[in-house]
Chains A and B, each alone.
Chain A
Amino acid sequence: MLKAYMILSIILFSIGVIGLISRRNIIVIYMSIELLLNAVNLSLIAISGDIGNASGHVMSLMIIAIAASEAALFMSLFVVLFRKKGSLDANIFDILGNKDD
């Protein structure tokens, strides 16, 4: 059962990496990052249940808390950038590099 959990976690992680690299919509990129975190959580919890120690559960609780704070920051960034640029394309968000904006 643990092997099946690990394999599922690897598959979900690979799907997340594929979405992260190949999409340009920033909302989909954000959700791919969340998928990576979820895949890691899955393997942490499977291993933790297998060795009989609750540390993995606590680690994935921390990961969920970090994902929540990341969500708050990402959402406010989406709102600010969408107001400024009027698009969700990740390629045009370059205001850190342009002085003339």
Chain B
Amino acid sequence: MENEIVFSVLAVVAVVSAIVMISAHRPIDSALSFIVTLISVAALFGLVNATFLFVVQIIIYAGAILTLILFIIMFLNIKDENLPEEKYKNRWLLVTSILILPFSVILINLILGSDIAVNSVINENLGTIKDVGLTLFSQWILPFELVSILLLVALVGSVTLSKRKD
């Protein structure tokens, strides 16, 4: 029962801060409210015993990626005249919401009508660092190596891009 209450609070916080994120005018406001979304999603991970992913989400997403965005926003010294004008922003948001709404209603109806897992048994060991590590290094070893190559390529690419002078 407590799980349901915690879930509802976290879900409301995540959705509200995501809406603030897409509708704020200044990028620093959206970045700060996106941090709230990320942390509540991390807490939702913790609620289903995904302890390792909880830590990774907080360290990498909220700690590294969002800090990088905040650094960039502060370094670039963005003023109001650098921002796009977006005169019809609210109208665009409304029109797009009306366009997207039928698809999400169909999907939600699909989920509600399906017979997936009403009796979720939570295994205590699932999601610990040992379990995730064993799965990662036994079944997923090739994707792991490919992701490391991808990270190397992204590192080299970003250094090359930002050092180029023209």
Task: Please list the residues of chain A having a beta carbon within 8 angstroms of any beta carbon in chain B.
Answer: 1-8, 10-19, 21-25, 27-28, 30-32, 34-35, 38, 41-42, 45-46, 48-55, 57-58, 60-62, 64-73, 75-80, 82, 86-91
Contacts and interface: CB of A to CB of B under 8 A. Distances in A.
29 contacts: A2-B117, A6-B111, A19-B21, A22-B96, A28-B24, A34-B61, A34-B65, A35-B34, A38-B41, A38-B61, A50-B120, A54-B126, A54-B127, A55-B139, A57-B53, A58-B135, A61-B53, A62-B140, A62-B144, A64-B61, A65-B151, A68-B65, A69-B150, A69-B153, A71-B64, A72-B158, A73-B161, A79-B75, A82-B76
B22 A19 contact: yes
A3 B14 contact: no
A10 B41 contact: no
Contacts of B24: 28
A57 B15 contact: no
Interface residues of B, number: 86
Contacts of B73: 27
A-B CB proximity, top 8 nearest: A19-B22, A69-B154, A89-B84, A22-B92, A76-B158, A27-B27, A54-B135, A76-B162
A27 B2 CA distance: 37
B155 interface: yes
Contact of A14 (B50, B57, B104): B104
B60 A64 contact: yes
A70 B61 CA distance: 12
Contact of A23 (B22, B69, B116, B143): B22
Interface string B103-129: 110011001100011001111001100
A76 B161 contact: yes
A34 B31 CA distance: 11
A58 B136 contact: yes
A68 B151 contact: yes
Interface string B1-36: 001100100010011001101101001001100100
